[in-house]
């Protein structure tokens, strides 16, 4: 894996701005934005959705997959959402759900966790590792050598991340109450020193309905493809992403991967379970509750509604007001 010449910058503009303001100011602004939007009938959400998705979001009777994610962000307050959105606490959820033995086999080895970046024990870390906060997404650093050269930059970036309450923007409630930490894990690499394939299992009510496979994520030639649970390729793609030119081969351990995903998803009406598989090894990635924050474009658009048809919105954690 090629070492970047500098650390990645946040692509999320809201997160970027949060790094430069006190937490109290961020919270006040986000709360005012939320209540203003509620008063205006979620006008900003509807406007953004229309611009991104090309159709109007129906928050009274959501039908598509993306509409239901938006609805979930506004109304679902299942306490397990916060536990499993936390990239550190979710490890305990995996142990409780799968049992200690299975969990230890699939959890990515954890090197260090802290809320004080200046105390990261760089001297004790291997040459290759991943640094990321336990909340949010698209915030990570892949270190492949040169850890001493990057030490101060890593510390500085981690301090910025710890200022960010990711749940204050985009209405992603699950992230709001996460106790922010920095976690350092083993960098998963294949024998060819590339990132392993990422298998994303879209599960609804404990049943896998669709699988998305990504190869060379974060690279210039990333590829993705959609499959049914029996590995029949689906004529579906995400605009803006490179679609597979030929179907990925079926993993020999597909039934095992699917079983893990369905067990991990059983506590939710809908969740995406991310797993890695390579060299006869399986690793847990994360549980994703707000896929693309409810704005994942599909071609054909009908697939958005097909995915939504698998999801019966549960009433147990409904709120009359967010």
Residue 43 confidence (pLDDT) above 50: yes
Residue 229 confidence (pLDDT) above 60: yes
Place of tokens 């959890």: 107
Could you tell me which of 277, 222, 221, 223 has the C-alpha nearest to residue 250? 277
Angle between helices 43-53 and 65-75 (to 10 degrees): 160
| Average pLDDT of the chain, as a whole number | 88
> Are the CB atoms for 71 and 77 separated by under 8 Å?
no
CATH of domain 42-107+193-322: 3.30.470
Q: What is the pLDDT of residue 314?
A: 73
Q: How far apart are CA 37 and CA 55, in angstroms?
A: 19
In order of 89, 94, 120, 197, 276, the CA distances from 183 in angstroms are 11, 17, 10, 22, 19
> Are the CB atoms for 83 and 93 separated by under 8 Å?
yes
**In the chain, domain spans:** 42-107+193-322
Give the confidence band of 295 by pLDDT, cuts at 50, 70, 90. very high
In the predicted model, what is the mean pLDDT of residues 15-28?
Answer: 65
Q: How far apart are CA 131 and CA 219, in angstroms?
A: 18
Rounded (to 5) percent helix, strand, coil in the chain: 35, 20, 45
In order of 75, 172, 316, the CA distances from 320 in angstroms are 7, 17, 12
Residue 113, judged by CB atoms within 10 A of its CB (0-12, 13-18, 19+), counts as middle
Could you tell me which of 293, 310, 305 has the C-alpha nearest to residue 64? 305
Residue 158 confidence (pLDDT) above 80: yes
Residue 6 confidence (pLDDT) above 60: no
> Are the CB atoms for 162 and 180 separated by under 8 Å?
yes
Q: What is the pLDDT of residue 318?
A: 63
In the predicted model, what is the mean pLDDT of residues 192-214?
Answer: 93
> pLDDT tens digits, residue range 84-140?
999 999 999 999 999 999 999 999 999 999 999 999 999 999 999 999 999 988 889
In the predicted model, what is the mean pLDDT of residues 161-187?
Answer: 90
Residue 39 confidence (pLDDT) above 80: no
Q: What is the pLDDT of residue 322?
A: 41
């Amino acid at each position: 894996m090629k070492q970047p010449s500098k650390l990645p910058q946040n692509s999320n503009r809201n997160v970027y701005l949060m790094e430069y303001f006190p937490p109290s100011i961020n919270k006040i602004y986000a709360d005012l934005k939320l209540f203003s939007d509620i008063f205006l009938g979620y006008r900003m959400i509807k406007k953004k959705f229309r611009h991104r998705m090309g159709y109007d979001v129906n928050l009274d009777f959501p039908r598509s997959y993306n509409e239901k994610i938006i609805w979930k962000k506004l109304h679902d307050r299942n306490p397990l959402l916060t536990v499993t959105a936390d990239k550190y606490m979710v490890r305990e959820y995996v142990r409780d759900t799968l049992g200690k033995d299975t969990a230890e086999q699939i959890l990515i080895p954890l090197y260090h966790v802290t809320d004080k970046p200046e105390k990261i024990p760089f001297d004790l870390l291997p040459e290759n590792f991943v640094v990321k906060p336990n909340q949010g997404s698209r915030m990570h650093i892949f270190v492949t050598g040169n850890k001493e050269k990057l030490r101060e930059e890593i510390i500085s970036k981690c301090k910025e991340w710890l200022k960010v309450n990711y749940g204050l923007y985009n209405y992603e409630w699950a992230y709001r109450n996460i106790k922010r930490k920095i976690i350092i894990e083993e960098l998963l690499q294949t024998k060819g020193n590339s990132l392993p394939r990422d298998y994303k299992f879209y599960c609804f009510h404990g049943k896998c309905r669709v699988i998305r496979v990504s190869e060379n994520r974060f690279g210039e030639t990333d590829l993705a493809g959609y499959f049914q649970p029996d590995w029949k390729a689906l004529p579906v793609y995400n605009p803006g992403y490179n679609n597979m030119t030929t179907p990925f081969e079926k993993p020999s351990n597909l039934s095992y991967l699917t079983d893990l995903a369905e067990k991990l998803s059983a506590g939710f009406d809908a969740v995406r379970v991310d797993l890695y598989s390579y060299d006869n090894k399986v690793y847990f990635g994360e549980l994703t509750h707000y896929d693309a924050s409810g704005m994942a474009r599909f071609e054909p658009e009908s697939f958005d509604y097909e995915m939504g048809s698998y999801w019966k919105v549960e009433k147990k954690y409904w709120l009359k007001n967010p």
